[in-house]
């Protein structure tokens, strides 16, 4: 057996296990070694019924003697009640609001229960335990559960997502692997020096400890090592990418702020100091010999578009070296067609006085401003026509969705790329855009300047790691005169009151968003079906019961682009008063007259995401309102949601989310290529900073990692993975 032998060859496995391994992407012995448990169960928690006390967290093996669905007498809450028995006694188990469990666990069956002992009217019961059916009951005193007789407290690793593959099986398989001497093949990609400095175990030790810890501190030390390793490698990769990017010669553009003055003076508002500084920083980048790679991070509504427009102006009014009468080009990429259209229209307003062409490319059509027939309007044109004008340089500003990345799109003098809502795009998509100048253009060897923009508030540690290759500018000031959104947490008994308040706003001519977690109603007969509001049903209900006199429209991701556009237009033109939508409106939509937002089922979203959604209504100087509707009974949830009332900005909320709910709740962590373990590490600023410092040091001394072949290999592997994202 060696690290690369397949599990299938070395172990006898059945069809179910085969499928499960495939689903988890585990093929080789090495894969399995790197499949980590997410928690441990200790035999210390394993108990008999006799002697249990209130408040104890326990694991119990018992037989289900009786089980039935019933209703709690006081509030008629549906529940399941069961009588459990082991050799030492009996106890009742109660699952509130989960009547279906009575059908899942037949009388007479054996199961493992994990839960907390509660007490009511002097009687102990097991409240809402997790359960897992087993074939027989273990005999605790004699053959201890995990056949490790002589240890008082043995810990069993519990692996994630083991459908078809028990944690016990994985554990025993790993023990066999350990005994085969395979571990001696393991080489550590992190140098001894670093391990010593931070007191981290070697890779071999860490692998043994994470699967078979003898004590809690072993498990913790090895998790720390793997977390460090992950952040270290991400940082290395980013540092390497940054050094590489700075070798790219680019378009040298020497516009001054003075030269931008006329353009900026035309804005219908005075820029914030933060906007002015950001514009200056970007102009400074343009003057350098190499390509800019900058992230502009600013809360929703902080005015990123204006910063982009002003810097685009600097590009547009600069001529390519060899053609004094022509203009350098800009590509502006956004994630949705609605947004693309909206930006197309605002850019026409910004730039029309310059008499330049502006193009729009999406999968449902291409457009150009100005139209030949009517010079103040835009017109639909064929794709091939648009592409021709882009490639011969006649369209200096091209706005678009993912369609911009397609092979057929080629520029003559692409000098600037703006990626709006950049967290919605993969790294590969961004990279593709930087190679868009055609071979005949003469600018092929130049890399365009790249400005990424995002409002996604993420904790600082995470930003440091995943955006380590970018220079960061924060837009940390809201436009002058913006009133903070008045946010209310609305429990079911306060709903009607909230609706009355909303009616007053609608009467003033304002519009409203209602955000629901689902598109269509879930099947209520399904066990555990989530009874959450759906867009379609909620729109009907609001029309029938609450707001009959108003126009209500729906918007969700399953609609066709043309339908979405129609609805969005109607909402923009105030033909629709209330827009009931899924979180598709999350990104960038700008309707200043919409000043009220209801967030339904709010407990299901992360705070940072709720904040993003709420940002839809802070687009003007009217007072905006956000109603956070939740049916939750949990005080903790209400407390968490209440952070929306006090937090100063999205970053604060992101930190809050990380602390309260854990890393899994940060929006889309998968897309960053950071594992759950790595995300855990993000909570630890010191660890993140240490890993980053070491990575930067290593790259400075060793730009190609020439002295560290193992590390270089590992980095190449991660890079490849990210490219397949």
* Cα 211 to Cα 37: distance, rounded to the nearest angstrom: 7
Question: What is the smallest separation between the CB atom of 620 and ligand ADP, expressed in angstroms?
Answer: 7
Whichever of 295 and 698 has its CB closer to ligand ADP, that residue is 295
Question: What is the smallest separation between the CB atom of 711 and ligand ADP, expressed in angstroms?
Answer: 39
Question: What is the smallest separation between the CB atom of 478 and ligand ADP, expressed in angstroms?
Answer: 8
Binding partner at 619 among ligand ADP, Mg ion, none, C-beta below 5 to 8 Å by kind: ligand ADP
Whichever of 219 and 450 has its CB closer to Mg ion, that residue is 450
* Cα 596 to Cα 607: distance, rounded to the nearest angstrom: 18
In sign, the C-alpha dihedral spanning 330, 331, 337, 338 is negative
Q: Is residue 539 within 8 Å of 565, Cβ to Cβ? A: no
Q: Is residue 669 within 8 Å of 610, Cβ to Cβ? A: no
Question: What is the smallest separation between the CB atom of 418 and ligand ADP, expressed in angstroms?
Answer: 11
Whichever of 588 and 673 has its CB closer to Mg ion, that residue is 588
Binding partner at 240 among Mg ion, ligand ADP, none, C-beta below 5 to 8 Å by kind: none
Question: What is the smallest separation between the CB atom of 421 and ligand ADP, expressed in angstroms?
Answer: 8
* Cα 540 to Cα 578: distance, rounded to the nearest angstrom: 12
The stretch among 220-228, 395-403, 502-510, 585-593 that binds Mg ion (CB under 5 A) is 585-593
Whichever of 346 and 675 has its CB closer to Mg ion, that residue is 346
Whichever of 301 and 448 has its CB closer to ligand ADP, that residue is 301
Question: What is the smallest separation between the CB atom of 699 and Mg ion, expressed in angstroms?
Answer: 33
* Cα 657 to Cα 643: distance, rounded to the nearest angstrom: 10
Q: Is residue 446 within 8 Å of 250, Cβ to Cβ? A: yes
SS3 call for 377: coil
- Which residues are near ligand ADP by CB under 6 A? 269, 271-272, 275, 298, 300-306, 455, 479-480, 588, 590, 592, 619
Question: What is the smallest separation between the CB atom of 618 and Mg ion, expressed in angstroms?
Answer: 12
**Residues in Cβ contact with 701 at an 8 Å cutoff, skipping those fewer than 6 apart:** none
Asked if the peptide bond before residue 126 counts as cis, ω within 30 degrees of 0, the response is no
Question: What is the smallest separation between the CB atom of 613 and ligand ADP, expressed in angstroms?
Answer: 12
Binding partner at 306 among ligand ADP, Mg ion, none, C-beta below 5 to 8 Å by kind: ligand ADP
Whichever of 443 and 454 has its CB closer to Mg ion, that residue is 454
Q: Which residues of 413-443 are buried (b: 16+ CB within 10 A; e: fewer)?
A: bbbbbbbbbbbbbebebbebbbebbbeebeb
The residue at minimum Cβ distance from Mg ion is 588
Binding partner at 669 among Mg ion, ligand ADP, none, C-beta below 5 to 8 Å by kind: none
Binding partner at 663 among Mg ion, ligand ADP, none, C-beta below 5 to 8 Å by kind: none
Whichever of 291 and 610 has its CB closer to ligand ADP, that residue is 610
Binding partner at 271 among ligand ADP, Mg ion, none, C-beta below 5 to 8 Å by kind: ligand ADP
Cα dist. 13→18, 164, 170, 173, 179 in Å? 6, 11, 11, 11, 19
Q: Is residue 385 within 8 Å of 371, Cβ to Cβ? A: no
Binding partner at 459 among ligand ADP, Mg ion, none, C-beta below 5 to 8 Å by kind: none
How far is C-alpha 96 from the geometric centre of its chain's CA atoms? 32
Whichever of 105 and 591 has its CB closer to ligand ADP, that residue is 591
Whichever of 144 and 276 has its CB closer to ligand ADP, that residue is 276
The residue at minimum Cβ distance from ligand ADP is 303
Contact between 303 and Mg ion by CB under 5 A: the answer reads: no
According to the 3-state scheme, what is the secondary structure of 386-430? HHHHHHCCCCCEEEECHHHHCCCCCECCEEEEEECCHHHCCHHHH
How many C-beta atoms surround the C-beta of residue 90 within 10 A?
A: 14
* Cα 391 to Cα 330: distance, rounded to the nearest angstrom: 12
Question: What is the smallest separation between the CB atom of 616 and ligand ADP, expressed in angstroms?
Answer: 9
Structure tokens of 606?
A: 């992360």
* Cα 643 to Cα 458: distance, rounded to the nearest angstrom: 16
Whichever of 448 and 588 has its CB closer to Mg ion, that residue is 588
Judged by CB under 5 A, which of 298, 303, 400, 588 binds Mg ion? 588
Instruction: Tell me the site size for Mg ion, rule CB under 5 A.
Output: 1
Cα dist. 276→257, 284, 317, 503, 615 in Å? 9, 12, 19, 39, 22
Question: What is the smallest separation between the CB atom of 270 and ligand ADP, expressed in angstroms?
Answer: 6
Question: What is the smallest separation between the CB atom of 303 and Mg ion, expressed in angstroms?
Answer: 9
Structure tokens of 665?
A: 């709740």
Cα dist. 92→14, 63, 220 in Å? 37, 11, 36
* Cα 497 to Cα 280: distance, rounded to the nearest angstrom: 48
The stretch among 33-41, 98-106, 583-591, 710-718 that binds Mg ion (CB under 5 A) is 583-591
Binding partner at 272 among Mg ion, ligand ADP, none, C-beta below 5 to 8 Å by kind: ligand ADP
Whichever of 201 and 457 has its CB closer to ligand ADP, that residue is 457
Whichever of 271 and 588 has its CB closer to Mg ion, that residue is 588
Question: What is the smallest separation between the CB atom of 600 and ligand ADP, expressed in angstroms?
Answer: 23
The stretch among 273-281, 288-296, 459-467, 580-588 that binds Mg ion (CB under 5 A) is 580-588
Q: What is the binding site for Mg ion (CB under 5 A)?
A: 588
């Amino acid at each position: 057996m060696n690290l690369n032998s397949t599990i299938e060859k070395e172990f006898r496995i059945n069809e179910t296990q085969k499928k499960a391994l495939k689903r988890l992407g585990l093929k080789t012995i090495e894969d399995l070694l790197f499949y980590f448990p997410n928690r441990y169960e200790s035999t210390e928690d394993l108990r008999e019924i006799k002697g249990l006390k209130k408040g104890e967290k326990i694991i119990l093996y018992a037989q289900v003697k009786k089980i039935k669905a019933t209703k709690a007498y006081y509030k008629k809450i549906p529940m399941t009640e069961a009588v459990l028995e082991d050799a030492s006694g009996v106890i009742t188990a109660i699952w509130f609001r989960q009547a279906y469990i009575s059908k899942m666990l037949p009388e007479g069956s054996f199961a493992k229960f994990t839960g907390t002992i509660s007490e009511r009217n002097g009687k102990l019961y097991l409240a809402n335990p997790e359960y897992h059916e087993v074939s027989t009951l273990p005999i605790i005193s004699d053959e201890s559960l995990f056949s490790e007789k002589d240890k008082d407290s043995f810990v069993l690793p519990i692996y994630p997502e083991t459908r078809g593959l028990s944690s016990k099986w994985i554990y025993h398989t790993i023990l066999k692997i350990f005994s085969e001497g395979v571990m001696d093949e393991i080489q550590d990609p992190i140098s001894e020096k670093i391990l010593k400095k931070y007191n981290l175990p070697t890779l071999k030790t860490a692998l043994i400890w994470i699967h078979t810890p003898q004590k809690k501190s072993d498990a913790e030390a090895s998790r720390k090592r793997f977390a460090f390793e992950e952040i270290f490698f991400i940082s290395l990769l980013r540092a390497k990418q940054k050094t590489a990017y700075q070798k790219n010669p680019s378009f040298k553009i020497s516009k001054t702020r003075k030269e931008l003055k006329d353009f900026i003076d035309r804005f219908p508002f005075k820029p914030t100091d933060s906007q002015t500084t950001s514009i200056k920083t970007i102009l400074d980048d343009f003057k350098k010999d190499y390509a800019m790679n900058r992230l502009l991070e600013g809360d929703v509504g902080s005015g990123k578009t204006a910063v982009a427009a002003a810097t685009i102006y600097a590009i547009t009014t600069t001529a390519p070296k060899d053609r004094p009468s022509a203009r350098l080009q800009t590509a502006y990429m956004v994630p949705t067609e609605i947004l693309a259209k909206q930006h197309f229209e605002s850019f026409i307003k910004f730039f029309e006085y310059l008499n330049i062409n502006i193009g729009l490319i999406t999968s449902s059509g291409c457009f150009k401003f100005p139209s030949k027939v009517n010079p103040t309007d835009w017109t639909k044109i064929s794709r091939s026509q648009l592409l021709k004008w882009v490639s011969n340089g006649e369209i200096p500003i091209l706005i678009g969705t993912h369609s911009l990345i397609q092979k057929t799109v080629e520029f003559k003098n692409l000098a600037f790329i703006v990626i709006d809502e950049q967290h919605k795009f993969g790294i590969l998509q961004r990279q593709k855009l930087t190679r868009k100048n055609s071979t005949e253009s003469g600018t092929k060897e130049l890399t365009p300047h790249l400005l990424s923009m995002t409002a996604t508030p993420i904790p600082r540690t995470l930003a440091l790691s995943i955006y380590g290759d970018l220079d960061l500018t924060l837009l940390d000031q809201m436009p002058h005169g913006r009133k903070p959104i008045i946010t209310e947490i609305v429990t079911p008994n306060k709903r009607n009151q909230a609706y009355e308040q909303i009616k007053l706003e609608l009467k003033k001519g304002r519009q409203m968003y209602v955000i629901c977690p689902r598109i269509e109603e879930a099947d209520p007969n399904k066990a555990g079906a989530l009874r959450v509001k759906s867009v379609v049903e909620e729109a009907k209900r609001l029309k029938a019961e609450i707001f009959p006199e108003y126009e209500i429209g729906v918007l969700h991701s399953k609609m066709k682009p043309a339908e979405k556009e129609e609805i969005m237009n109607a909402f923009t033109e105030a033909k629709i008063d209330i827009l009931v939508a899924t979180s598709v409106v999350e990104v960038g939509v700008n309707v200043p007259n919409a000043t009220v937002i209801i967030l339904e089922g709010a407990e299901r979203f992360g705070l940072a995401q709720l904040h993003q959604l709420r940002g839809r209504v802070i687009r003007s100087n009217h007072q905006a309102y956000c109603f956070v509707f939740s049916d939750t009974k949990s005080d903790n949830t209400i407390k968490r949601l209440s952070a929306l009332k006090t937090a100063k900005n999205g970053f604060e909320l992101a930190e809050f989310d990380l602390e309260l709910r854990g890393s899994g709740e940060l929006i889309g962590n998968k897309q960053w290529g950071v594992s759950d373990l790595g995300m855990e590490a993000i909570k630890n600023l010191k660890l993140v900073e240490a890993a980053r410092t070491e990575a930067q040091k290593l790259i400075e001394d060793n730009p190609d990692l020439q002295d560290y072949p193992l590390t270089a290999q590992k980095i190449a592997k991660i890079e490849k993975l990210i490219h397949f994202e």
